[in-house]
A and B are shown apart, each in its own frame.
Chain A
Amino acid sequence: MPNSADEQIIIEIVVETSEVLADITNFRKEVDLVKAKLKEFADATGESVSVVGQRFKTAFAQGKIELGEVDELFGVTSISAERFGKVTTQAVKEVAQEEDKATQSTKLFGIELGKLGDIGRLVFGSVLGISL
Chain B
Amino acid sequence: MNLKRSLKLYKMLEPHLPEDLELEPFDFISIIVHNIKESKRHNDYIDILEFVSGMPRSELLSMEFIDLFEMFAEGMTDLQIIYLAKFCRKMGLSDA
Contact = CB atoms under 8 A, between A and B. Distances in A.
Interface in A81-132: 109-113, 115-116, 120, 124, 127-128
Contacts of B46: 10, 13
Contacts, number: 79
B25 A113 contact: yes
Interface in B9-41: 24-27, 29-30, 33-34, 36-37
Given A109-B74, A127-B66, A14 B42 contact: yes
A17 B27 contact: no
A14 B61 contact: no
Overall SS of chain A's interface: helix
A115 B26 contact: yes
B66 A128 contact: yes
Q: Contact size class for B? A: 20 to 34
Interface residues of A, number: 29
A24 B26 CA distance: 10
A11 B34 contact: no
A128 B27 CA distance: 21
B18 to A, nearest CB: 13
28 contacts: A6-B57, A6-B61, A9-B61, A10-B46, A11-B42, A12-B65, A13-B61, A13-B65, A14-B36, A15-B37, A17-B33, A18-B33, A18-B34, A18-B37, A20-B66, A21-B33, A21-B69, A24-B26, A109-B73, A110-B70, A110-B74, A110-B77, A111-B74, A113-B24, A113-B26, A115-B26, A116-B26, A128-B66
